[in-house]
Structure 1
Amino acid sequence: MADYSDDQLDKRVVAQSGVEIGFVEEVRDGDLYVAVEPDADDAVSQLGWDGMVNQDVHHLEDRYVSNVTDATIRLRV
């Protein structure tokens, strides 16, 4: 299980297809919380966030994270 820090704040969250889902708005207890872009519907449904898109931020489960760089967090979906 990853233990993320505030270093991840404001990083772009990108689906495997290259579509930007949103950005890391918060890191809480080592977990990432993502503010979702309005046009990220397809990738959001794969993350199980559909139906909850009215929330400000969504918890990003570590199992979906493929790669973390200086600027982005790339997902497996």
Structure 2
Amino acid sequence: MSVVTSRQQQRQAGRDRTKGACAPGAVSQQIRALEVHFGVRLLDRGNREVRLSTDGLRLYANITPRSSSRRRRAAL
């Protein structure tokens, strides 16, 4: 799950490609394994862009305390 968190943080930080110690192929394999494990698509993959799917965003919100507190504030 840290891969999903890492991906969202990279996206929020302006796609800083210098972060992360994993090769892109290894990250893709880990994400695909998570998608199989959870039975949902976690990323929307386009020609030049990859972003979290609705299910990926939901998972991200559930595994990061900061985003969960934002979600609670937004609901108020």
- Structure 1 or 2: more strand by fraction: 1
TM-score by length of structure 1 reads 0.31
Which one has the bigger helix percentage? 2
Which structure has the greater CA radius of gyration?
A: 2
Give the alignment's TM-score, normalised by structure 2: 0.31
Q: Of the two structures, which has the highest relative contact order with CA contacts closer than 8 Å and spacing of 6 or more?
A: 1
